[in-house]
Each structure stands twice: as structure tokens, then as C-alpha cells.
Amino acid sequence: MPDMIAVERALDLVLEAARPLPPIVADLADLPGRILLEEIRADRDVPSWDKSLMDGFAVAAADLGRGKEVAIAATIAAGADPGALAALPPGQAARIMTGAPLPRGADAVIPVERSRAGSQPDRTALQGPVRPGENVARRGDDVREGAVLLEPGDFLGAAEIAVLAACGRIRARAGGRPRVAVLATGDELVPPGEEPGPGRLRNSNGPMLEALARRAGAEVRDLGIARDDEEDLRRAIASGLDADVLLLSGGVSMGLYDLVGGALRSAGAEVLFERVAIRPGKPFTFARRGGTLVFGCPGNPVSSYVIFQVFARPALRRLASHPTPVWRMQPGRLASPIRQKPGRAGYVQARAVFRDGRLDVEPVPTSGSADLVSCARGNALAIVPAEAASLPAGSDVAVILLDDHGDR
Amino acid sequence: MPDMIAVERALDLVLEAARPLPPIVADLADLPGRILLEEIRADRDVPSWDKSLMDGFAVAAADLGRGKEVAIAATIAAGADPGALAALPPGQAARIMTGAPLPRGADAVIPVERSRAGSQPDRTALQGPVRPGENVARRGDDVREGAVLLEPGDFLGAAEIAVLAACGRIRARAGGRPRVAVLATGDELVPPGEEPGPGRLRNSNGPMLEALARRAGAEVRDLGIARDDEEDLRRAIASGLDADVLLLSGGVSMGLYDLVGGALRSAGAEVLFERVAIRPGKPFTFARRGGTLVFGCPGNPVSSYVIFQVFARPALRRLASHPTPVWRMQPGRLASPIRQKPGRAGYVQARAVFRDGRLDVEPVPTSGSADLVSCARGNALAIVPAEAASLPAGSDVAVILLDDHGDR
């Protein structure tokens, strides 16, 4: 019987095997959600010219005093060429729009709300006083040319996309997107759209692992169901080994027809471990062949779910160059006790809710590792250390806040 | 000048105008991330037969006592037809695989780890005792036929997809996906791939709003840039009014060329409000024409970002039938003081980190509403009530934890 290893050791082995994919150069539309792999510097000062922050009238502050009626010398729109503007004549004002360049001779803007029509159509009555620089942004106030705006390892959310666009970077170097193949195994399985005969059941692991891998940012290919037959299994596995990650479910237990370990070895894969001290999910086979990682998840759906979240998701994130591939654990307070047989770390489906600034964690009632509904009702995994026989209500508990459950 | 309304009132008007889209019936692969709009019941007992939870030997518990060597009467694989199994002869055992049906006459399973080879190849030495029911799941233990497994309003994450698959539901009724059109306006703008001439700048709001809308689950169409010209603007707006939501940026201030309000009215849209007591983002125009909602965001990028998060995202989620469209506010502790001019609610870019079970909130230094980099560095919005002039360090603060910033 293969040795059982601790969760931490298994995760170390998985992350060691998961090397970041080669960087790609992607278009702006394909960058959101990826990890940036280059430094982005400002290609110019922002703003690139002294500009008005309001719609109003550009003046020389010293001219205005407590306010006066002045001639309107010009109208300046956003988009005007700063170099082509006439200087503001002393004692006059220029009508100016938000974002428009400030004319030479002006150093402040009176907002339109502080103006009234003048005695002539080309005059306006302005309310003072105004400080020099008021409602004006100076060239470079936001960003200096050459300043580092984004760094390698930054997650590309919408704001980062806007920074790239503002710098004219319609392409950037970023982390790859892992290609995942999903294969369910077992003579008892029928596709979800078929009526299962006696002794059969529908393949739910396949669609679940597909959804999980997509959610983690992967491109996913479904390989369907392989029979408990060495030849069929070997063929199916071979067709998945050109992916970056092959997610298998079933066939990793100790039964006569648990052929996955053997089929992987005969396909030339190195099996790194076959049993992990985790509940659910103990019979979890991890292997690699060349650059392909193989996660042999147990056939029980909740076990497959937990193995994906605890091991496969960190691997996918590392392949995609995430600087923090592993879930960050959050400290929570347990609302009801959890009991377990010591020896394996428990990853318990739970509902975690922030309440009064604290994370309350309520384990979800379950009938066992086939109980998908408990999985759907939870939004977190509460972690019970391997050596613990129980965690009483009110005790501190480490929690993984899953990202696939709508709101918290 | 149009009246300025409070954030809460504006959000009420937005949500009132945002009616859930007609439900669709989607395939399993297109369901993740949508909201389920029907009840899902188990179409059979799960398990559908008494089954083994382990690889091992099925026995009658009463037969075994403290253990004995017994004859192996049969080998039962997962997928075997329960009705076709021979009954287990008294005093014998059946080799059985995880998930395989239990033969009549057996009521417990001895795991393979508690067996040794017998004196003959067709015999095994089993270690007792075993309780009736041990390592066995009875028909219906997990789920009873007809039980409600998922309900209308449930978010379809991976576990829910697995539940649908297990029930044979390869299609289900779910919320629609909003179609969004994005249009930037302003004579000063050039596309991100072009070199801006004097007085010009690159359109960063368009790509940002696209990324935000996609992240919120929408299908997005980019309408590019409209000039500050009534005819051009009217044409561009008309081409966006067949979407469910039109996201505009720029042209909503009080300048001579802020034509968006007028263009919307001349396109037959009803303008519901034009100024909201929010900082940044005051000049925010919200309109509707038929079923189309129009968000006229300010041209300043940080203002557009905040208006999207505070108003457009809740609207998109309501269109998609999310039962909780509005961000849930989390209570946090402010690490540094925030000051503001009272009168508008402040939505301040901040970095929120869980530390010792508490949410620490550090405002991100910023040079103002054009400072996209502050937006990229934050992962949260800290909310300062409109009437407050300051929030001191250490004070409680309500926080929106944004979902577009990688890890927290």
C-alpha cells in the first residue's frame, strides 16, 4: 500500500511540479484576469499639459480680486492643441471645458457655477477670490513620464487594463492560460444526458471539474468517460497528455478495477504520490509526464471537489504565473462543533458569513463524500488539523473562502 | 442646474429601472455563473441501490464474529446490475468495489486493508468484528427521490452544475446575460493604439468599462469613440440603444460640449437624474429608453470606475436575475484618516486586508479622479458618509470588497 503523505507535503510536491507556462504577448481584450509579466512605465506626463479640472473660466488669479466682470477672450475645448492657444490677455477670461489646456497667462479656473452672464454677450461676471492653481492640474501632477505604473506579477483587473490603454499598450506580456483536459473513469458512469440503467449513475464529476477549471482561468477540453478497461483507459489518458493538466476522476482507489495508477505508469508518467492524509480525498494520485500534470481525483464527487480546490487550483494558478497560487487561509469562528477520526486533515464544507466584522463558519450538514448538495450549499472549506478529534463550537478555525458561490 | 440626489436614492432609481431579463434555457456548459430560475428535484434516490463505500468484502455482519477465513462467492464491480446479483451464501463473502451494489444477504463491508489472502486462492481471511451497515450506504441515504436540491435564485457554481448533471438536467432555466455596449465620447480622445497629438489623450475608459462589464457577466460590444458633435453622438448612441445597457463615458459635465444629456433626450430616452452626491462621480447621467438602461459616466477614469461599481454592476446583476444585486458592505477598520469636503458621499480607493480576523482598510494615496494607478493599487472602496468631514484612523468604515483585483 503506498505511503500516505501530509497535505502540506503533497501541496509542496504539486507546486514544485507546476512550472509557470511560457509568457505570451496578448491583446488588451485578452489580458483581463491574466498576470502581467513586464514592467509598465508612463510614456508621457499625465496630464500632458496644464489643464482645467472644471467647466468654467480660466483667469489669472491675481487679476480677479473679489470678483469682477471681464471680457471673454476665447473658448477652449478639451482636445485643443496647447501649443496653438493664444495667451490670455491681462484682465480677461477664457471660457474653458473640463480637461482642456490652460492658456498661457492663466493660472486658475472659476467654475461655471460661480459665473453669471455679463452686461454684454462676450462678457461674464466672475465671483472671486480664486487661489493660483485652483481647479487646475499641472502637467505631470498625476504621473511623471517614466514612472513605473504596473509591475511584473500584477493581476490585470479592469483598472490595470485602463492603465495599459492610457499608456498605449494595446499588447502586453502576460502569463499563459493553462489547457486542461477532463476525463471521468468508471464502468458505472453514463453521460449526464442519458438515463442510467440499473447499477449505473450519471457522470457529474466531469461537468463539475470542467466548471472548476474554467473558473480558475483554464481552457478546458472534455474527454468524456473512459471504461474500467486498461486499453480504453490508456487511450483516453494518452489523448489528455498533450494538455498542461489532465484532471481524472475515479479509478484511484484500491479496487480491482482501479487502473488509473497503472495506466499512468504505462503511459510513461511518474507517479509522485497516491495517498494524502486528507478527508475527503485520501486516494488522490498525482503524476506528471513531461510538462503535463495529472490529478487523479477520487470518484466521489465531494472528494473530487476538495482535491481540485486544495491541489489543482493552486497548480493552475502557478501555471498561469500567479504570484500567490495557494488559497489564503482566513481565520474564522466555528458556529457548531466538528468531530472527526484523527489521522487525516478534514476539509469540511461550510457556510462562512462575515458578521460584525468576524467570519462565522457553520459546517454544512452532509451525508458523506457523495453528497454534492452539501457542496452546493457551502461557500467555504473549514480545515480541521489531522491530529484533532474535534473542534468545539466557538473555536478558531482556518477557512478557505471559495470563489465559486456567488455572494458571501 | 439639475438637482443633486443622494447615492441611495440614485441606486433605488437604477434598480427600479433594471428589470430581470427574460429567462433562457441554457446547456450545462453555458450555465456556470448564471442564476438558476427553476426548482431542481432529485429524479431518483441517491444512491439508487445499497452500495459499498469501500473496496473490500461484503459480508453478513452476524456471520463474521471476531473474524474468520471465508470463501469468496463473487466479485462485484461498480456498474453491476443490482437486480442481477446472486444472493450471498451464508458464511461467505463477495469481493466488492467502491460504489458497487451490495448483494442480498450482505449488510456490511470489510475494507481490503482488513483482509489477508486465505489458504486457497478463492478464500480470504477477514478481520472482525463489523457492525451491520458499516461501510455501506443505503438506497436514498444521500438524497431521496423528489427532494428539492436546488432552488430558483441559486447561483450556479461548479457544485450546482454537478447536481444538475447528476439529475440528468443537461439544460436548465436560468437568468439571461446582459448585452452591454460601451461608448467613449470626447474630441480629445484617440484609440489606445494611436499616438495622441497635442492636447489629445488615449481612450482608457472604453477598455476599462469593457473589462468591468465582462467581469460582471455581460456580453460586451465596443462602439469606440464619438466626437463632441451632436450628429456623431446621436448616431453612436442610437447604435447602442439596442443593447440592454449602454455605458457612456464623458460629455456629462456642464461644459458647452457636454452633449450627452441632450443627445439622449433627442433619442427619446427619459433622463432619470444627472447629478449624484458622490465623490468622485457627481456628474452621472442615468437614463432609459424602453428596456435599455444608459449610464452616462463622467470622463474622469476613476469617476467612471466608481460609477460602474456602485451603480452599473448592481443593475447588470439585477438584469441577470441575481437575488442580491447590490454589493454587500463589510465593516472594516480604517488604518489612516480620510478627509473630505462634506456634501457628497466619498467612495475612496483603498486596500483592504483581513488581518487577525479583522478587515484593515488603508486608503490608497491618489492625485485625484484621473489617477488610474490609485484605482489599480486598491482592491476596495471605503465609504465616507456625505455629511462627514473626516473619518479618523481607527474608526469603523463600511467597505465594498471589489472582485476584480486578484487576491486579498
B74-90 tens-digit pLDDT? 999 989 999 999 999 99
Query: Which residues, in sequence order, are CB contacts of A311 under 8 Å at separation 6+?
Result: A10, A11, A14, A284, A286, A295
Closest partner residue to B161 (CB to CB) among A208, A254, A324 is A208
Length of chain B: 408
**CA distance between the termini of chain B:** 42
- Report the chain B residue with the minimal C-alpha distance to residue A220: B29
- Structure confidence by residue, pLDDT tens digits, B100-139: 999 999 999 999 999 999 999 999 999 989 999 999 999 9
Range in B169-183, B304-318, B345-359 the model is least confident about = B345-359
Quick one: pLDDT at residue A2? 63
Contact assignment for B324 to A405 by CB distance below 8 Å: no
- Of A20, A40, A127, A136, nearest to A88 by C-alpha is A136
- Chain A residues near residue B137 by CB distance under 8 angstroms: 367-368, 370
Chain pair A-B, CB pairs under 8 angstroms: 335
- Structure confidence by residue, pLDDT tens digits, A274-298: 999 999 988 899 999 999 999 999 9
* More confident position, B373 or A203: A203
What is the C-alpha to C-alpha distance for residues B34 and A357, in angstroms, rounded to an integer?
A: 29
What is the C-alpha to C-alpha distance for residues B309 and B401, in angstroms, rounded to an integer?
A: 11
Read off the pLDDT of each residue in A171-193 and give the average, rounded to a whole number: 96
Contact assignment for B359 to A356 by CB distance below 8 Å: no
DSSP conformational letter for A155? B
Contact assignment for A299 to B201 by CB distance below 8 Å: no
Quick one: pLDDT at residue A395? 96
- Of A35, A23, A39, nearest to A151 by C-alpha is A39
Contact assignment for A32 to B1 by CB distance below 8 Å: no
CB A201 within 8 A of CB B158: no
Question: HSE on the CB side for B50, CA within 13 Å?
Answer: 17
- Structure confidence by residue, pLDDT tens digits, A323-359: 999 999 999 999 999 999 999 999 999 999 988 778 8
What is the C-alpha to C-alpha distance for residues B155 and A355, in angstroms, rounded to an integer?
A: 21
Residue of A54, A95, A160 to mutate when probing chain B, most B C-beta within 10 A: A160
Distance from CA of A406 to the nearest CA of B (A): 6
Read off the pLDDT of each residue in A166-190 and give the average, rounded to a whole number: 96
Closest partner residue to A368 (CB to CB) among B137, B215, B257 is B137
Structural domains in chain A, sorted by start: 4-22+176-319 (3.40.980.10), 25-41+145-174 (3.90.105.10), 51-137 (2.170.190.11), 330-401 (2.40.340.10)
- Chain A residues near residue B43 by CB distance under 8 angstroms: none
- Report the chain A residue with the minimal C-alpha distance to residue B55: A255
Contact assignment for A157 to B406 by CB distance below 8 Å: yes
Residue B71 CB neighbours (<10 A): 13
- Chain B residues near residue A343 by CB distance under 8 angstroms: none
Percent of all residues in chain A with a pLDDT value above 90, rounded to a whole number? 84
How many angstroms separate the Cα of A62 from the Cα of each of A76, A85, A131, A289?
A: 21, 21, 8, 76
Quick one: pLDDT at residue B13? 98
- Report the chain A residue with the minimal C-alpha distance to residue B138: A367
Read off the pLDDT of each residue in A355-370 and give the average, rounded to a whole number: 83
Distance from CA of B316 to the nearest CA of A (A): 14
What is the C-alpha to C-alpha distance for residues A80 and A69, in angstroms, rounded to an integer?
A: 26
Over chain A, what is the mean pLDDT?
A: 94
Contact assignment for A207 to B169 by CB distance below 8 Å: no
- Report the chain B residue with the minimal C-alpha distance to residue A366: B142
Contact assignment for A46 to B101 by CB distance below 8 Å: no
Contact assignment for A258 to B55 by CB distance below 8 Å: yes
**Partners of A248 in the beta sheet?**
A183, A296
Over chain B, what is the mean pLDDT?
A: 94
What is the C-alpha to C-alpha distance for residues A173 and A171, in angstroms, rounded to an integer?
A: 7
**Partners of A400 in the beta sheet?**
A381
Quick one: pLDDT at residue B296? 95
Read off the pLDDT of each residue in A161-182 and give the average, rounded to a whole number: 97
What is the C-alpha to C-alpha distance for residues B291 and B266, in angstroms, rounded to an integer?
A: 17
Closest partner residue to A160 (CB to CB) among B200, B368, B376 is B376
* Residue A38: strand, helix, or coil: coil
A139: pLDDT strictly greater than 90: yes
- Chain B residues near residue A404 by CB distance under 8 angstroms: 157-159
Cβ-based burial of B238 (10 A; exposed 0-12, middle 13-18, buried ≥19): middle
Quick one: pLDDT at residue A302? 93
Closest partner residue to A159 (CB to CB) among B198, B203, B208 is B208
A254: pLDDT strictly greater than 90: no
Quick one: pLDDT at residue B370? 67
B256: pLDDT strictly greater than 80: no
Distance from CA of B130 to the nearest CA of A (A): 17
What is the C-alpha to C-alpha distance for residues B96 and A200, in angstroms, rounded to an integer?
A: 15
**CA distance between the termini of chain A:** 41
- Structure confidence by residue, pLDDT tens digits, A296-312: 999 889 999 999 999 99
Q: How confident is the model at residue B369 (pLDDT cuts 50, 70, 90)?
A: low
Distance from CA of residue A53 to its chain's centroid? 34
What is the C-alpha to C-alpha distance for residues A389 and A344, in angstroms, rounded to an integer?
A: 10
Query: Which residues, in sequence order, are CB contacts of A202 under 8 Å at separation 6+?
Result: A189, A190, A191, A192, A194, A196, B165, B166, B167, B168
How many angstroms separate the Cα of B298 from the Cα of each of B10, B255, B278?
A: 15, 12, 12
